[in-house]
């Protein structure tokens, strides 16, 4: 094998693309139902955009971005979707057009991490962003939408975790409190956690390292230092989730790795399917400061992204797809000529039609027809041509009949059920 795909960047072959299409269609439907419209932004952005929005000392920016300089321009393959979408909002001044903007996006993201189950270097996210609504009702609606969407798809064993990171003042205050607790215990922390002590102590809270978990168990909770406004928002979120009937768990140590979150942050996880330890299906939160940071007016915002590969891993095995369309099996030169025209007519009538002109015995032709997944096989040999008919076989019902050539299209359309779809 001379060439391989780049590590961590997988092909999605036709045997899987059907599942992707269903997943994407379901996401689009739910997003549309909630009033979101699709926005498509570039995969490549100026490196500085991600540094500014995601945060300089985050792992993503420090070591996971595909960055390069091209003709004096520092560019980066997007590691997440929110920054580009927020940039587009500001660049086109769309905050001035409507008080609230609801956008969704879909597409590949890139992070240079070591691949493992549920973690790729090129992976796909679908996400929604709401600009201009300070919440917390819309925060809850977003979370409930994800739960509905995943449930609709068939993902089992969902759990919702929520937390509040408070506003900027709260965050600074909590940072000090946490540092006050952790610094004296630095010796008990893991190496990575200790290294993070100065730069980003909050991140130590969601370490999975047993030592860190133990140390953090008794750490002060951010929920205890929320100010009145933060608390009102968080209480409002909980009340709205209760009103929606969406179960959740409060996790005071839920921090997440992007610096831009304020107030609400959340994660949706599952233990279902073939998910490994990477079991966060969707995550998000409020980022009230980002739009201003990118040069726009102060605009509250919230959003989430979900990992499509992970959702696919969590999904149960799909039912085998039903037989559909026609397989044309001509035998001989004259029959092939006739079949060519027939196939074109079928397609014009909205019937999926596959022509196999390779010839062979009728047995092998039928085997191929069967293997193709077609509902109907149209056999056209010298005997049929001589009588002006085609043999139309229903591969599912094991029924067959000779049909006069002019009626074959209508007959096949009826059998495959394609006519109605084509007409509507």
Partner RNA sequence: GUGGGUGUAGCUCAGUGGUAGAGCACUGGAUUGUGGCUCCAGGUGUCGCGGGUUCAAUUCCCGUCACUCACCCCA
Dihedral pair phi/psi, residue 128, rounded to 5° = -130, 145
Minimum distance from CB of 33 to RNA (Å)? 21
* Position 273 contacts RNA (CB under 7 A): no
- For residues 95 and 289, which CB has a smaller minimum distance to RNA in the complex? 289
CA pair distance 315, 162, nearest whole angstrom: 23
* Position 70 contacts RNA (CB under 7 A): no
b/e burial code for range 226-235 (CB count within 10 A of at least 16 → b): beeebeebbe
Task: Write the binding mask 40 to 69 for RNA: x where contact by CB under 7 A, - elsewhere.
Answer: ------------------xxx---x-----
**3-state class (DSSP) for residue 261:** coil
User: Cβ(342)–Cβ(409) under 8 Å?
Assistant: yes
Name the nearest CA neighbour of 342 among 377, 311, 316: 377
Please report, for residues 7, 279, 357, the alpha-carbon distance to residue 331 in angstroms, rounded to integers and kept in the order given. Answer: 46, 53, 8
Residue among 28, 117, 185, 352 that touches RNA (CB under 7 A): 117
**3-state class (DSSP) for residue 57:** coil
Name the nearest CA neighbour of 267 among 143, 380, 92: 143
Residue among 67, 108, 381, 405 that touches RNA (CB under 7 A): 381
* Position 362 contacts RNA (CB under 7 A): yes
* Position 263 contacts RNA (CB under 7 A): no
* Position 233 contacts RNA (CB under 7 A): no
- For residues 95 and 286, which CB has a smaller minimum distance to RNA in the complex? 286
First to last CA, the chain: 47
* Position 209 contacts RNA (CB under 7 A): yes
Residue among 21, 93, 367, 406 that touches RNA (CB under 7 A): 367
* Position 159 contacts RNA (CB under 7 A): no
Which residues form the interface with RNA (CB under 7 A)? 4, 7-8, 58-60, 64, 80, 111, 113-120, 123, 125, 190, 192, 196, 203, 206-209, 212, 256-258, 267, 276-278, 280-283, 305-307, 309-310, 331, 360-364, 366-371, 379, 381-384, 391, 393-398, 400
């Amino acid at each position: 094998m001379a060439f391989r795909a780049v590590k961590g960047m997988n092909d999605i072959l036709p045997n899987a693309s059907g599942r992707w299409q269903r997943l994407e269609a379901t996401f689009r439907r739910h997003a549309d139902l909630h009033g979101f419209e699709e926005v498509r932004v570039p995969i490549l952005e100026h490196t500085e955009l991600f540094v500014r929005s995601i945060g300089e000392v985050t792992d993503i920016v420090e070591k996971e971005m595909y960055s390069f300089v091209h003709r004096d321009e520092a560019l980066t393959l997007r590691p997440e979707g929110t920054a580009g979408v927020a940039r587009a909002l500001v660049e086109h001044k769309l905050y001035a057009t409507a008080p609230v903007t609801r956008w969704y996006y879909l597409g590949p993201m890139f992070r240079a991490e070591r691949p493992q189950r549920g973690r790729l270097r090129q992976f796909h996210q679908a996400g929604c962003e709401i600009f201009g609504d300070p919440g917390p009702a819309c925060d809850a609606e977003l979370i409930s939408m994800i739960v509905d969407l995943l449930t609709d798809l068939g993902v089992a064993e969902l759990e919702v975790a929520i937390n509040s990171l408070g506003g900027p003042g709260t965050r600074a205050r909590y940072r000090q409190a946490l540092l006050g607790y952790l610094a004296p215990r630095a010796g008990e922390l893991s190496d990575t956690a200790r290294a993070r002590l100065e730069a980003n102590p909050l991140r130590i809270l969601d370490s999975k390292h047993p030592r860190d978990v133990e140390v953090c168990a008794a750490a002060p909770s951010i929920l205890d230092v929320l100010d009145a406004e933060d608390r009102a928002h968080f209480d409002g979120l909980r009340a709205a989730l209760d009103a929606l009937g969406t179960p959740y768990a409060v996790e005071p140590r839920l921090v997440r790795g992007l610096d831009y979150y304020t107030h609400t942050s959340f994660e949706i996880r599952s233990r279902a399917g073939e998910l490994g330890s990477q079991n966060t299906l969707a995550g998000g939160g409020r980022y009230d400061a980002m739009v201003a940071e990118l040069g726009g007016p102060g605009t509250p915002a919230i959003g989430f992204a979900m990992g499509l590969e992970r959702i696919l891993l969590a999904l149960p095995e799909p039912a085998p797809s039903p037989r559909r369309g026609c397989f044309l099996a001509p035998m001989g030169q004259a029959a092939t000529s006739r079949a060519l025209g027939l196939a074109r007519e079928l397609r014009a009538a909205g019937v999926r039609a596959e022509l196999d002109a390779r010839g062979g015995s009728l047995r092998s032709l039928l085997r191929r027809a069967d293997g193709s997944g077609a509902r109907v096989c149209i056999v056209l040999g010298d005997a049929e041509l001589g009588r002006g008919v085609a043999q139309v076989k229903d591969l599912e019902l094991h029924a067959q009949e000779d049909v006069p050539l002019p009626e074959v299209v209508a007959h096949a359309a009826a059998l495959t059920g394609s006519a109605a779809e084509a007409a509507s």
